[in-house]
Amino acid sequence: MTTKVIIDKAQGAAFIMRAGHIKLGEMVEGTKELESDFSFRNIRKALSDLSAADMSSISTDEFESYSHYCQKTLKGLKIAIVAPSDLSFGIARMLEILSDVEDIMVFRKMSEALLWLDVFLPEDY
């Protein structure tokens, strides 16, 4: 899996693009690393783009565990997940429901996610 993260302080937003085959451990470690980044501390909005990601090997148990982790650590963050394929959309919806984080929404279209977050893509995205 490759992950590209852009922090846009002016918008108070993080833009995260995940590509390739995703293993759950990589997602957890990536989230922990992002949270420990000083520039992420004032971020209140995040866009997670799964358009180029393959999540087919994540088990239900692993995903439920990650959802509970998100529930504890991502409160206060408005998160839009872009998941255009049926599989990634279904998996992302499980995260939305299981994490019970108030401000997570899953979208199939980038334009709808950006509108909901009230942000625009940075030039270097």
Confidence band for 102, pLDDT divided at 50, 70 and 90: confident
Average pLDDT over residues 64-76: 78
| Domain residue spans of the chain | 2-117
Higher pLDDT, 74 or 46: 46
10-63 pLDDT, tens digit per residue, is 999 999 999 998 877 777 777 778 878 888 888 999 999 999 998 888 777 777
Model confidence, pTM: 0.88
35: helix, strand or coil: helix
Closest to 107 in 3D by CA, of 93, 95, 119: 93
In CATH, the number for domain 2-117 is 3.30.750.24
Q: Which single residue is written with the structure tokens 């959309």?
A: 89
pLDDT in the model for residue 13: 95
